[in-house]
Amino acid sequence: MSKKEKEKELPKEDLRIGVFICDCGSNIAGHLDCKAVTEYASGIPGVVYAKENLYTCSEAGIGEIQNGIKEHNLNRVIVASCSPRTHQPLFQNSCSAADLNPYLFEMVNIRDQCSWVHMQERDEATAKAKDLVRMGVSKAAFLEPQMDIEASLNPRALVIGGGVAGLTAADTLAGMGLEVVLVEKDKDLGGLLRKIHRVAPYGNEASERISGLIEAVTDRSNISVYLGSQLEDVGGYIGNYEVGIKRDSGETVQENVGCIVVATGAVPLVPEGLYGYDGEKVITQMELEGRLKKGPVEAKGVVMIQCAGARSPEREYCSRICCQTAVKNARLLKEQNPDAHVHILYRDMQMYGTENEQMLWDARGEGVRFDVFSADQPPSVEEGKVEFYRSLTGKTVEIPCDLVVLSTPLVAREDAAGLSQLLRVPMDQNNFFLEAHAKLRPLDFATDGIFVCGSARYPANVEEAISQGLGASSRVATILFKDKLVVSAIVAEIDEDSCVGCMGCMDMCPYGAIDYLPEKKICQVKTILCKGCGCCASTCPSQSAKLKGFKPEQILAQIRAL
Amino acid sequence: MLDVGRHPNIELMAYSEVEKVDGEEGDFKVTVRKKARYVEEDRCTGCGACKEKCPTILPDAFNEGLGDRRAIYSWFAQGIPSTHTIDPDHCRQLNGKKCGICAKVCQADAVNFDQKDRVVEIDAGAIIVASGYKVFDPSVIPEYQYREIPNVITAIEFERLLSASGPTGGHLDRPSDLAVEAEIHELEKKVKKSQKAIGKLEKKHGQDSAEMVEAFQSGDYADDDDRKKWAAKYAAHLEIVEPLETLKKKAEGFSVAKRLAFIQCVGSRDFRFYPFCSGFCCMHSIKEAIIANEHERETTSVIFGMDIRAVGKGFEEYKVRGGNQSGISYIRGRIAEITEGPNHNPVVTYEDTKERRVKSVDFDMVILATACAPNEGVEELAEILGIGVNRFGFFETGTFQPLDTTVPGIFACGCAHGPMDIPESVAQASGAAARASLVIMDSKMREAS
């Protein structure tokens, strides 16, 4: 604390601004006149020191900043160089090291915005750099010292869902030494995998593996398992969630956790009204799993129809895992009864990767038949046969059969919407949970502290669910293994006196960082969740929501300087 | 990349190779060779002044040879660490010639021609292998004539053409047209040179070349050696001007590629090469076709595939949208061959399985969606680490321990153990980190007890 107490908080009238202009070798200086910009900067009111550096980010450049702060008693520092995205943290830390509050630092980007985009226009680039520097100086006058926000962390994790993804996450987190609360709606752990006969591609017994995992989880002393239980309410935020869990007995228990993993899985669609589904002679793959588990399936001819209830206008997505499931089960049927005719009617065989495609080759070799149909001419199921149009020969073909198996997609659970509201995390158009970034943050929610894995995100096979369960625990560990949570002070604040409680900001906030306080009839920012995006500030009709570091007077000062 | 480069707990050793691994789970000793960059990483600020002055021009491997780079270079603009490297095979100075220009222009004093490889030893509790994959080289498929027909290119080459920071600035210029433009550029340089020489002579004699040559040919200046040479020079000049004009006229008709064909499963699902499905290429082609259409709205694409495997979250929807809004049509089947038609247009011959007819259609450009092949050096790395390789040539992992290799404490993620897309790779990377943490925590606990 002593260092922070030393930090200078000088009144605005005593401005002592230092401006450092970076040549970036020739990257900036090659395309604009850095010397002229430096001279210009030294003449702006409030600027007591202006210096041109060859490389401001080099050791020598950093030294210049720190010497400048000491020798010229600077209370604001501006670096005109490259992108704040890459270099702001470095410069802020350098200010800190010289006992200047890092929030009294301002960055101006004369590389991307001047030398790069105006490469052939030296005079214009120089003039623009001067403008940007002047704007930065004007804003700097209004900067305020800030303290990073710190919060405590409860090193416990809640895992919702006891299927293979959730069990993997719980087991991994507990293995790392964290306490885990595992909530499962069902009376038993294991999820969908309990109902599966064997797992592709090597035909491993699913039950063996899942019972091993259940045993490991129940044996761990640092995992509390709540069976037949559901989440009732969720309060708090990253680091300190208070969760109400309703047990099957009817009582509600309170648990406090630091992070949450959503692993609630998905369910196979029951194809009522599709292809004459009756659960007897026309069944789903999941029902076939049940029959395979019991013993040999009595059928001489089996036709499997893919995309039953999927990739259609009402349910557009591909459920990813049904093709591999169908091929796996087709092979098991052939293994039980090599004389059985097993035929798969498909639109695209989604056998992605190494083992799946190999399984497809193997199935063909073992005599499983495959035929393509197109979405506008689906097969028709009739008594004792399936008819379809074979475009390769241009003829309609009949396949005699005594069992039809429909490969139906995994669909989101009905109660997913409720959970999404409780946790305030979004779902996609198919009611699967929506991750923060489709490519780069597949297991994160935009809201800090909550993660997703397995089929709750999107249909996943066992291997993928396990990888994601492991991945989600890693994401949790990166938070809960720290002593405390430290976040940037650039967050929004809402003025209690002028807020009218219209809740406009709550709708705009992508991070669920704003609460409505009914007793005061105002909105309030949960600073620890705020990412400083400024959506609330730009929405607020009474200008009560303001973003620190980007307050109206700070932005207006920049604009007026132009 | 930036986050990794800046993280206080991560020591980045780029341009380095693992040479030896000893020990076991919880206590590995890893020997790493840090290859000489001939540039001091901690001094280089990545400003790029050196490469602007370097006289040695080489094909740019990052841009698939479609652009060029210098002998001192950074792999790509925003790479981490943001430092440069000298290519020791091509640098003049390192090959005994006089140069050293980069060292002279470097204001950070970072160039060091005496730098040597450094071998360092690292203690590690766990190891994660994320060595990725190799793009299959389709020139071994005779029927596609890659490298024979200039406008048949790979998906990765196409990616560079689409990139705003790529060799064509994001314009879909056809390689055959680019070759003509390069030829024009060369000829123009020659013309300029000979024009200068002729101009000097014209000035010296105060006479126009054409006039002089006419007089010379009618017998004047028979004894004038200077004029004799001049006439020869002028003739040679005309000899390059003519083809230049022809080429220029030809180039006027050039436009960017607007009719594209994407060929799926190039090297994948093919027993001659790789039997497996590379998983991401269908989506890659769809994405490239959509972006090409965004560049030029009239661009149309045909994607030829046995199945279109759009299996990830939102992928099927993306595929359908590409068809409805971005001019993509999907044709089922594996194409028979690609031949070269007039105007360097590749002609694709295939069987239309819906109409039961063999068709030949010409396109401006054909893009080959190449297989995700096991990376070079997989066998060597497997031997160094002692881990298994599966029948497909990737590192071996199992269904229930999907990120564990055959050696405890060594994990694999991403395309190093099988083809997969970005979200799957990212999720696995986190998962492998969790597996590695467990091992390290366990060994620490054992030490403590």
pLDDT band of residue A537 (cuts 50, 70, 90) is very high
Q: What is the pLDDT of residues A14-28, one digit of tens each?
A: 899 999 999 987 789
Q: Say which residues have a Cβ less than 8 Å from residue A256's Cβ, sequence separation at least 6.
A: A154, A156, A236, A240, A241, A242, A243
CB–CB of A27 and B47 under 8 A?
yes
pLDDT on residue A58:
81
Calculate the alpha carbon distances from B340 to B113, B126, B146, B172, B344 in Å.
Answer: 48, 53, 11, 19, 6
**How do beta strands A204-205 and A198-199 pair?**
antiparallel
Identify whether residues A324 and A343 lie together within a single domain. yes
Q: What is the pLDDT of residues A391-438, one digit of tens each?
A: 889 999 999 999 999 999 999 999 999 999 999 999 999 999 999 999
d(CA A446, CA B181): 48
More confident residue, A544 or B443: A544
Name the residue type at position A351. Answer: M
Identify whether residues A250 and A278 lie together within a single domain. no
Residue B132 lies in a domain: no
Closest Cα of chain A to B399: distance in Å?
5
Give, as one character, the DSSP assignment of residue A281: S
Residue B99 lies in a domain: yes
| Interface check A498 vs B, CB under 8 A | no
Identify the domain containing residue B213 by its residue range.
Answer: 177-252
Average pLDDT over residues A125-153: 95
Identify whether residues A357 and A458 lie together within a single domain. no
Residue B422 lies in a domain: no
Closest Cα of chain A to B72: distance in Å?
16
> Alpha helix locations (H) across A7-147?
34-42, 59-71, 84-97, 122-140
Number of Cα atoms under 13 Å in the Cβ half of residue B373? 16
pLDDT band of residue A13 (cuts 50, 70, 90) is low
Identify whether residues A339 and A320 lie together within a single domain. yes
Closest Cα of chain B to A556: distance in Å?
32
Identify whether residues B110 and B80 lie together within a single domain. yes
Residue A148 lies in a domain: no
Judging contacts by C-beta atoms under 8 Å, the chain B residues touching residue A471 are 426-431, 434
Identify whether residues B144 and B80 lie together within a single domain. no
Average pLDDT over residues A298-319: 96
- Specify the number of domains making up chain A: 4
Share of residues in chain A with pLDDT > 70 (%): 97
Residue A5, pLDDT > 50, answer: no
Residue A146 lies in a domain: no
Closest Cα of chain B to A349: distance in Å?
6
Q: What is the DSSP string of A179-191?
A: EEEEE-SSSSS-G
d(CA B48, CA B76): 11
Judging contacts by C-beta atoms under 8 Å, the chain A residues touching residue B428 are 467, 471
Identify whether residues B293 and B359 lie together within a single domain. yes
Name the residue type at position B260. Answer: L
Quick check: helix, strand or coil at residue A416?
helix
User: Which among A57, A177, A311 has CB closest to B316?
Assistant: A311
Identify whether residues B41 and B105 lie together within a single domain. yes
A86-90, A385-389, B62-66, B444-448: range with lowest mean pLDDT: B444-448
Residue of B nearest to A351 (CA): B277
Domain boundary pick from B339, B373, B407: B373
Identify whether residues B277 and B205 lie together within a single domain. no
- The answer to whether A488 and A149 have CB atoms below 8 angstroms apart is yes
- Long-range CB contacts for residues A150-153, cutoff 8 Å, separation at least 24: A150/A484, A150/A485, A150/A486, A151/A238, A151/A239, A151/A240, A151/A484, A151/A485, A151/A487, A151/A528, A152/A239, A152/A240, A152/A484, A152/A485, A153/A239, A153/A240, A153/A258, A153/A479, A153/A480, A153/A482, A153/A483, A153/A484, A153/A485
pLDDT on residue A1:
36
| Angle of the B422-448 helix axis to the A164-175 helix axis, nearest 10 | 30
Identify whether residues A292 and A257 lie together within a single domain. no
Residue A151 lies in a domain: no
Judging contacts by C-beta atoms under 8 Å, the chain A residues touching residue B313 are 317, 428, 432, 438, 457-458
pLDDT band of residue A11 (cuts 50, 70, 90) is very low
Identify whether residues A430 and A519 lie together within a single domain. no
CB–CB of A440 and B311 under 8 A?
no
Domain boundary pick from B226, B252, B278: B252
Average pLDDT of chain A to the nearest whole number:
93
d(CA A68, CA A12): 19
Identify whether residues B296 and B369 lie together within a single domain. yes
pLDDT on residue A208:
83
Residue of A nearest to B333 (CA): A392
Residue B329 lies in a domain: yes
| Interface check A55 vs B, CB under 8 A | yes
| CATH code of the domain covering residue A165 | 3.50.50.60
Residue B189 lies in a domain: yes
User: Which among B279, B356, B431 has CB closest to A353?
Assistant: B279
Residue of A nearest to B354 (CA): A391
| Interface check A27 vs B, CB under 8 A | yes
- The answer to whether A306 and A430 have CB atoms below 8 angstroms apart is no
| Angle of the A59-71 helix axis to the A84-97 helix axis, nearest 10 | 50
Identify whether residues B272 and B247 lie together within a single domain. no
Q: What is the pLDDT of residues A62-83, one digit of tens each?
A: 999 999 999 999 999 999 999 9
Please, what's the b/e burial string for A260-290 (b: 16 or more CB within 10 A of its CB; e: otherwise)? bbbbbbbbbbebeebbebeeeebbbbbbbbe
pLDDT on residue B348:
98
Identify whether residues A42 and A175 lie together within a single domain. no
Q: Say which residues have a Cβ less than 8 Å from residue B81's Cβ, sequence separation at least 6.
A: B5, B12, B14, B41
| CATH code of the domain covering residue B100 | 3.30.70
Identify whether residues A37 and A132 lie together within a single domain. yes
Residue of A117, A205, A318 to mutate when probing chain B, most B C-beta within 10 A: A318
Q: What is the pLDDT of residues B339-385, one digit of tens each?
A: 999 999 999 999 998 889 999 999 999 999 999 999 999 999 999 99
User: Which among A177, A467, A474 has CB closest to B402?
Assistant: A467
Residue A145 lies in a domain: no
Identify whether residues A380 and A421 lie together within a single domain. no
Q: What is the pLDDT of residues B73-101, one digit of tens each?
A: 998 877 788 889 999 999 999 999 999 99
Judging contacts by C-beta atoms under 8 Å, the chain A residues touching residue B321 are none
> How crowded is residue B32: how many other Cβ atoms within 10 Å of its Cβ?
16
Residue of B309, B394, B430 to mutate when probing chain A, most A C-beta within 10 A: B430
Judging contacts by C-beta atoms under 8 Å, the chain B residues touching residue A474 are 430-431, 433-434, 437
Average pLDDT over residues B123-146: 97
pLDDT on residue A306:
98
Domain boundary pick from A436, A462, A484: A484
- Specify the number of domains making up chain B: 3
Identify whether residues B233 and B305 lie together within a single domain. no
CB–CB of B438 and A172 under 8 A?
yes
Residue A149 lies in a domain: no
| Interface check A204 vs B, CB under 8 A | yes
Identify whether residues B157 and B289 lie together within a single domain. yes
Identify whether residues A47 and A86 lie together within a single domain. yes
Average pLDDT over residues A492-512: 94
Residue whose C-alpha is closest to residue B346's, from B369, B365, B368, B330: B365
pLDDT on residue B448:
74
| Strand intervals (E) in A366-419 | 369-372, 380-382, 385-390, 395-400, 403-406, 410-412
pLDDT on residue A6:
41
Identify whether residues A261 and A278 lie together within a single domain. no
CB–CB of A473 and B313 under 8 A?
no
Structure tokens at B134: 């190799």
User: Which among B45, B269, B390 has CB closest to A357?
Assistant: B269
Domain boundary pick from A357, A386, A410: A410
Identify whether residues B298 and B187 lie together within a single domain. no
Closest Cα of chain A to B392: distance in Å?
7
Average pLDDT over residues A475-490: 94
CB–CB of B276 and A354 under 8 A?
yes
Identify the domain containing residue A238 by its residue range.
Answer: 156-265+413-484
Q: What is the pLDDT of residues A41-56, one digit of tens each?
A: 999 999 999 999 988 9
Identify whether residues A470 and A417 lie together within a single domain. yes
Closest Cα of chain A to B353: distance in Å?
5
| Strand intervals (E) in A436-482 | 450-452
pLDDT band of residue B65 (cuts 50, 70, 90) is confident
CB–CB of A85 and B2 under 8 A?
yes
Identify whether residues B303 and B341 lie together within a single domain. yes
Domain boundary pick from B373, B406, B439: B373
How many residues belong to chain A?
Answer: 562
Partner residues linked to B90 by β-bridges = none
Calculate the alpha carbon distances from A475 to A199, A261, A424, B446 in Å.
Answer: 27, 10, 19, 25
A105-109, A112-116, B73-77: range with lowest mean pLDDT: B73-77
pLDDT on residue A3:
42
Judging contacts by C-beta atoms under 8 Å, the chain A residues touching residue B424 are 442, 464, 467
| CATH code of the domain covering residue B336 | 3.50.50.60
CB–CB of B400 and A462 under 8 A?
yes
Residue A313 lies in a domain: yes
Residue A147 lies in a domain: no
pLDDT on residue A8:
43
Identify whether residues B266 and B328 lie together within a single domain. yes
pLDDT on residue A205:
80
Residue A481, pLDDT > 70, answer: yes
pLDDT on residue B47:
80
Residue B433 lies in a domain: no
Bond into A201 cis (ω within 30): yes
Share of residues in chain A with pLDDT > 90 (%): 86
CB–CB of B430 and A475 under 8 A?
yes
| CATH code of the domain covering residue A125 | 3.40.50
Average pLDDT of chain B to the nearest whole number:
94
Residue B153 lies in a domain: yes
Residue B384 lies in a domain: no
Q: What is the pLDDT of residues B242-289, one digit of tens each?
A: 999 999 999 999 999 999 999 999 999 999 999 999 999 999 999 999
Domain boundary pick from A410, A443, A463: A410
